[in-house]
Structure 1
Amino acid sequence: MNVEELVRDCLRQQAAEEPSAGPGFADRVLGARRRRRTRRLASVASATAAVVAVAVAVPLLDSGKDDVRPSGVLDSKEIHAHPDQSPPRDLISAGNVALAAYYTAKIVKKTDDVGVSARSYWLLDPETGRYRKTTKWSYVAVAPGMRTAAVLEQNLPTRRIGLLDLATGKVERWIPVDRGVGGLAFSRDGRKLVATTYHDNPDLRDKQPMEPSGFLWVPRFGKSSRTGFLVLDVASGKGSWAGVPADRDINARQDFAFSRDGRLVYAAVVGGHDGLQQFYDLAGREVAAPANEKYLRSDVAARLSPNGRLAAVGLTKERPDTSYSEIVDPRTGKRITLVRGAELLAWVDDKRLIAYERAPGSGEYRPMLVLVTIGSDKFVQLSGPHAPAKDFSRQDWQPIFAER
């Protein structure tokens, strides 16, 4: 693991929220737009045929209504593992959770002493079950249902947000905003987006000398230009902005994410009221953490189990080829058990999680995706391990999970 990754992993800021309504809302909005356009262009005979086709599909889509999904691998709840692939080329999934995308990053120089950590994304094609590379976007957030992603163009901060159809690779709609945006996160029902606003690019890196010779590109500690956040309704594109400047920050990127029920947002902080996180209401006022999120950590992506009774906390015990993380009662913080895994990334169900585990026999930390089960020491390897770190200006592939 390189120095930049060590810093980043101090405050991993991925959020995992719990649904308050059926998944796929953003997809249904875009689906409705596509159908309206089709109806305007179709003849009466074609429209009649389309109605018949839709009627056939409805029984399969009743819970999602307009959410049209492929009938192949994406809907299968079986485990799809590719332990020989790193980075992955084919779908990785377990239960209702899948690797929706991943990204790598490399430094692009702006001046001799300033660069940008620029991302390349690989997005899951829901029709083929394979990952497709794109360099169009500086930031991608995948909506529940995995048919839609919110995207930001290059050269952050940007003044519009795209809603991308993952099946076609095309932006179906742009949401213009009146402030520069640098980060995005969906609520778990897909109805809302929180967009973190910045004055400057949050992915700027400064060149820092390293002994005995050489240099590193490092984030701008304590220099975040964050200004606040926008909460947007996906269907209408409307929303409001709340000013929350960076405070107790550790790096330039200090993104917001939704609480479990979508009524609050939180961001990572140093010395926060509730561990490494601080919650805010949608007007930007600091508030106490919800009772069931008080003992969570912003650097542990998995957060609450689907039933809300278990909380993933983080690494507590590590041996050369084995790691264990702690599972606690979310309301008391009391330990319930340990589970295999160095980093807990996403809950599959109330007993299983996707985690990072160390590649066996490696002297350095080379994580691989694994499926772990509470109460068992065994795991299922889902991906190959990361390659040994050689170029400190590059970041190995980082996973983005979403509910199917």
Structure 2
Amino acid sequence: MTIDDVVKETLGRWADEAQVPQGLADRALGGRRRGRIRTFAVIAGATAAVVAAAVTVPATIQDTTGTQIVLARTGLLADGPAITLPELTEVSADPDASPPTRLVSTPEVALYAYYVWDHEKISDKRQILKRTWYLYNPATAAYEKTPWAMVDVAPGGYVAVLEEQQARRVGVLSPDGQARWVDLERPASTVQWSPDGGRLLLTSYAANPDEQGREDENGSAEIVRVARTGFSVVDVATGQAAFRPLASDEDMYEQDLRWSDDGTLIWEQGGAQPPSRRFYDLEGRPHEAPPKAVTTHQKAGLSPGGRTLATDSPDKGAVVGLADVATGRVTALKPVAGHWIEQALAWSGEDRLVTWACELEGTDGCRISEFRNRLLLVDADGGGAVPLTGFRENSQQPGSWEPLFARR
């Protein structure tokens, strides 16, 4: 029996702690998986012919005036991160706002950025997913709208950006908000910092991967499949960008490429249960999974100390579970402080988790719609919770927002 089957069967029976609607597991897991799927539906992918030989392209990182920037050998900008947060001993929250206007942070992890998503019609049958990104500005103590199409934040507040989908260059922001640019040999549509903050991984596609089919009056939409062509790795310390061809596979659930936990490999997400990952080396060659690789639907993944894994719960009273890595024992993260925990997003130290949660009671409680949810900081032992933001009224509708957390 797969984890989906277990969760469906058990959550079909209402938890003792709260009366949860039939099918909540399907919708919660489904909403979670729709995060970056190209049909949203948000996003989808297909097979492409493998491009010829790999090409290494030398590049320099420059500011907007063309002056070369000297980088620290650690792989981070010599003049510091783009976002430096104030020191905290307690939680900083904005519990009445959605999206937040004030800093959302714990002493260990922070919401550095978020995006609001919408659709732009390009024809009667096609549309494009558009993201409007907001970054926290320490000077104004507020989240401010940016011109960037894609954003990623490394631990410590180092920011990488793309100007558009199918971008020809990637930028690294300095504290004054100016970008140092690295030219790319192939256009890129996603960017992700390596775990050590020294490199950037960019996924390339044959066209804009955020193009989608528009729903007709029957609620069905044309499937738009855009082929992945490969990826680039940028060394932030030297400004070197190397492209490698890597065609997409129709069997894979998601085409965007990501770093392995130790930054030595990259992977793509399969659709099998439990979630499968297909690994490659940095030349784009298939590679065995790392010996201790763990997979989960929960974005939080392993705790910072590697002792606990946020995973899917087989317990009838929860969607999220916490697995003890040493013993394999899974403890359900059950309702806490009047909230049903839907997804684990990020660890705050070893003992707390940032989660999405819906409110069990009230006019718009989970029994009405689990898509009305808020960011909630919860104790891993289920002992307490702190609201971090107000409620998104419907996370599945245009105009909703998605957070980007990183370690402080």
Q: What code does the residue aligned with 1:74 have? A: P
For 2:323, the equivalent position in structure 1 comes to 328
CA distance in 2, matches of 1:5, 1:170: 39
Structure having the larger proportion of residues in strand: 1
Measured after TM superposition, the shift of residue 175 of structure 1 is 0.6
Q: What's the secondary structure of 1:122's corresponding residue?
A: strand
Q: What code does the residue aligned with 1:290 have? A: P
Q: State the identity as a percent.
A: 31
For 2:271, the equivalent position in structure 1 comes to 270
For 1:161, the equivalent position in structure 2 comes to 170
Q: Does 1:209 align with 2:216?
A: yes
Q: What code does the residue aligned with 2:202 have? A: A
CA distance in 2, matches of 1:240, 1:330: 36
For 2:46, the equivalent position in structure 1 comes to none
For 1:357, the equivalent position in structure 2 comes to 357
CA distance in 1, matches of 2:298, 2:84: 32
Q: What code does the residue aligned with 2:311 have? A: V
Q: Verify the 8 A CA contact 1:92 1:99 in the aligned structure 2.
A: yes
For 1:9, the equivalent position in structure 2 comes to 32
Relative to the length of structure 1, the TM-score reads 0.75
For 2:407, the equivalent position in structure 1 comes to 403
CA distance in 1, matches of 2:139, 2:247: 41
Q: Quick one: structure 1 residues 250 and 138, their matched pair in 2 at CA, closer, same or farther if it must change by over 3 Å?
A: farther
Measured after TM superposition, the shift of residue 77 of structure 1 is 4.2
Structure 1 residue ranges, 4+ long, deviating more than 6 angstroms after superposition:
3-6, 69-72, 216-219
Q: What's the secondary structure of 2:333's corresponding residue?
A: strand
Q: What's the secondary structure of 2:86's corresponding residue?
A: helix
CA distance in 2, matches of 1:6, 1:343: 9
Q: What's the secondary structure of 1:189's corresponding residue?
A: coil
Measured after TM superposition, the shift of residue 228 of structure 1 is 1.8
Q: What code does the residue aligned with 2:161 have? A: V
Q: Quick one: structure 1 residues 129 and 230, their matched pair in 2 at CA, closer, same or farther if it must change by over 3 Å?
A: same
Q: Does 1:98 align with 2:110?
A: yes
Q: Quick one: structure 1 residues 71 and 312, their matched pair in 2 at CA, closer, same or farther if it must change by over 3 Å?
A: closer
For 2:182, the equivalent position in structure 1 comes to 175
Q: Quick one: structure 1 residues 164 and 71, their matched pair in 2 at CA, closer, same or farther if it must change by over 3 Å?
A: closer
Q: Verify the 8 A CA contact 2:379 2:385 in the aligned structure 1.
A: yes
Measured after TM superposition, the shift of residue 65 of structure 1 is 10
Measured after TM superposition, the shift of residue 305 of structure 1 is 1.0
Q: What code does the residue aligned with 2:151 have? A: V
Q: What code does the residue aligned with 2:269 have? A: A
2:160 to 145, 150, 167: 150
Cα RMSD after superposing both structures: 3.5
For 1:338, the equivalent position in structure 2 comes to 332
CA distance in 2, matches of 1:277, 1:377: 33
Q: Does 1:85 align with 2:97?
A: yes
Q: What code does the residue aligned with 1:177 have? A: L
Q: Does 1:245 align with 2:250?
A: no
1:56-101: CA deviation from partner (whole Å, max 9, x where unpaired): xxxxxxxx99564799853324211111111100100112200010
CA distance in 2, matches of 1:250, 1:70: 35
Q: What's the secondary structure of 1:255's corresponding residue?
A: strand
Measured after TM superposition, the shift of residue 324 of structure 1 is 4.6
Aligned residue pairs, count: 343
Q: Does 1:310 align with 2:311?
A: no
Q: Verify the 8 A CA contact 1:157 1:200 in the aligned structure 2.
A: yes
Q: Verify the 8 A CA contact 1:204 1:219 in the aligned structure 2.
A: no
Q: What's the secondary structure of 2:390's corresponding residue?
A: coil
Q: Does 1:132 align with 2:140?
A: no
Q: What code does the residue aligned with 2:342 have? A: A
The runs of 5 or more residues in structure 2 that have no matched partner are 1-23, 38-59, 70-75, 335-340
For 1:370, the equivalent position in structure 2 comes to 376
Relative to the length of structure 2, the TM-score reads 0.74
Q: Verify the 8 A CA contact 1:139 1:151 in the aligned structure 2.
A: yes
Q: What code does the residue aligned with 2:369 have? A: E
Measured after TM superposition, the shift of residue 359 of structure 1 is 2.5
Q: Verify the 8 A CA contact 1:117 1:203 in the aligned structure 2.
A: yes
Q: What's the secondary structure of 1:284's corresponding residue?
A: coil
The runs of 5 or more residues in structure 1 that have no matched partner are 15-28, 40-63
